[in-house]
Amino acid sequence: MTKRKLILFKYGGNAMTNQNLKSKILENICALKNKGFQIIIIHGGGPFIKETLKVANIKSDFIDGLRKTTPEAMEYVEMALKGKVNGNLVSIINKMGHKAVGLSGKDGQTVLAKKHLHTHEKNGKKELVDLGQVGDVESIDTTLIDLLLENDFIPVITCIASDKNGNNYNINGDIFAGNIAGALSAEQYIILTDVNGLMLDKDNPTSIIHELKVAEINHLKEIKCIQGGMIPKMDSCEIALEKGAKLARIINGTVPEQISALFEHQKIGTIISA
């Protein structure tokens, strides 16, 4: 097998706000495919889950940024992610002349999940809370993905997987992506989000950190630089690099030109290395 150059994109729901932006992002990603890179897209879709649950009249609470998910809600999460978001991304890519394959972690038993055991801190005390169908990655089997990549397909994978007993879980998209990027030793693991990268001061765009070592992440968490949605992103970069990805990078998906500029040696986004 020739040495592959694989780029794995994590595409977040907040950079999917409109059809035009989505097309631009996918165009830029497909341009990299045309340059000879292998491409994988892994996506979540928080805003779409929210919308679907609202239509179904299902209330859901968040604990520490995680959506408490009943088995009933899980059905709607799957409907939104697999039926709506995934199907739509596959259609757009196909229209661009590439061959996309829509999957979840369940297909080919690519991702084996386990229930996420969550400890929540309340009044200084740690307690275990049951978040229902919220999962973690137990293990990855890359057989199906390898097969698809070797045959020129673009796998588009949503962050749902089952455990050994067939229970379905919604896994944080960043963590899901980081694990797969690691298992495949991706050349680059690129997270598309709605900010230009990691900022030292979240609200000051000029405070962007262009380069970061994994060893520095803990300190940045302690000083509360890394917050909210950025926490699983940084954790996922750590997982990806630890497990074998060569480089991780956070860029702004709402500025699709950043994707085409990735290999032009410009200072774009935040680069995280081991």
Q: Of these, 7, 140, 180, 199, which contacts ligand ADP (CB under 6 A)?
A: 199
Instruction: Verify binding: residue 12, ligand ADP, rule CB under 6 A.
Output: yes
Q: In angstroms, what is the minimal distance from the CB of 104 to Mg ion? A: 18
Sequence-distant (6+) residues with CB within 8 A of 141 are: 108, 109, 110, 111, 112
Instruction: Verify binding: residue 102, ligand ADP, rule CB under 6 A.
Output: no
SS3 (DSSP) at 214: helix
> Residue 230 binds which one of ligand ADP, Mg ion, none, with CB within 5 to 8 A depending on kind?
ligand ADP
Please give the Cα distance from 135 to 112 (Å, whole number): 10
- Residues of the shown chain interacting with Mg ion in the complex, contacts defined by CB under 5 A: 229
Please give the Cα distance from 81 to 78 (Å, whole number): 5
Q: In angstroms, what is the minimal distance from the CB of 225 to ligand ADP? A: 5
What x-and-dash track marks residues 30-49 binding ligand ADP by CB under 6 A? Answer: ----------------x---
Which C-beta is closer to Mg ion: that of 82 or that of 233? 233
What tokens does 54 get?
A: 């609202």
Please give the Cα distance from 185 to 157 (Å, whole number): 17
Instruction: Verify binding: residue 229, ligand ADP, rule CB under 6 A.
Output: yes
Instruction: Verify binding: residue 105, ligand ADP, rule CB under 6 A.
Output: no
Q: Of these, 118, 194, 243, 273, which contacts ligand ADP (CB under 6 A)?
A: 194
Q: Are strands 211-213 and 160-162 parallel, antiparallel or unpaired?
A: unpaired
Q: In the range 153-192, which residues lie near ligand ADP by CB under 6 A?
A: none
Please give the Cα distance from 144 to 105 (Å, whole number): 10
Which C-beta is closer to Mg ion: that of 228 or that of 244? 228
> Residue 195 binds which one of ligand ADP, Mg ion, none, with CB within 5 to 8 A depending on kind?
ligand ADP
Please give the Cα distance from 89 to 23 (Å, whole number): 9
The answer to whether 192 touches 253, Cβ cutoff 8 Å, is yes
The phi and psi torsions of 184 (rounded to 5 degrees) equal -95, 5
Choices 22-30, 127-135, 136-144, 223-231 (CB under 6 A): range interacting with ligand ADP: 223-231
Q: Are strands 248-252 and 211-213 parallel, antiparallel or unpaired?
A: unpaired
Residues that bind ligand ADP (CB under 6 A): 12-14, 46, 193-195, 198-199, 202, 225-230
